[in-house]
Chain A
Amino acid sequence: MDFAVFWIAAGVAGAAAINLIFQSKPINSVLSLVVVLFALAVLYLQLSAEFIAALQIIIYAGAIMVLFLFVVMLLNLNQDQFGSNRKPGLRSFGVLIGGTLIIEISLIARAFVSSSPTDGQVVAAEFGSVAQVGRLLFGEYLLPFELTSILLLIAVAGALVLAGKREEAQPPEERS
């Protein structure tokens, strides 16, 4: 049962990730990424990371991906507007590099795994619960947590400056 769930989730994540890369329509890529995120949330649940799984859906699928969808729609990005993909030569070169990277990471991971305990440790039912992660966040890791809030503030300011309306906007030809 565990293995069935794992293989289904992993397969869906992989297929959707491939679809993400090779789709020519941006909107399809966005929706494939939503599927990947959902499948990953299932994997997180299997690894008894309930809090992270819930956050994955709320933050990623609920906020970040909606932002992506929103931008794709706002700019009305259809297939024809960004032309064809790269030349076949460059394209296969990219796939080659990516494939090499996958094999490399897998080899490193295998070497690493074979040197560490094969069986996972038994964890308490509390592991990964909101209470436990919360205690860590507001205790041991308080400083990084507070720093993330500053990061978010900077991001808000940056987004407003970059994407906000400007009064004195000149036509693009004169500027470039």
Chain B
Amino acid sequence: MIPLSHYLLVSAVLFGLGTVGVLISRNLITILMSVELMLNAANLALISFARWHADPGAHVFVFIIFVVAAAEAAVGLSLVIAIFRRKNTVDVDELNILKG
């Protein structure tokens, strides 16, 4: 059987890559996707801990994260569309109206 640490390593790598994506990307959609990637990394950690402690409660939690991710994607993408209509771009560096 595969040890828990392996799964946690994969989860950590995915989470870190998600962070990198949020930091280096200028495209709003890629940033949103990196956030989804981080959510998925958390899911993997939850599921592997659930298996380790033989407690299916974490599965319920992951289910709820799915719902949150779906809501986040829906609202986030509508924001992207609204921004695109206004500014004709999805480049986060261009969204600087609030800058003094």
Contact = CB atoms under 8 A, between A and B. Distances in A.
Contacts of B48: 47
Interface of B: 1-21, 23-27, 29-30, 32-34, 36-37, 40, 43-44, 47-48, 50-54, 56-57, 59-60, 62-64, 66-75, 77-82, 84-91, 97
A162 B63 contact: no
Given A26-B27, A26-B30, A110-B5, A94 B47 contact: no
Nearest to B69: A64
B15 to A, nearest CB: 6
A55 B66 contact: yes
Nearest to A76: B84
Nearest to A176: B97
Contacts of A63: 70
Name the 4 nearest CB pairs between A and B, nearest first. Answer: A98-B20, A102-B16, A94-B23, A155-B71
Contacts of B87: 172
Given A17-B37, A72-B29, A123-B51, A52 B63 contact: yes
B74 to A, nearest CB: 5
Contacts of B12: 102, 105-106, 109
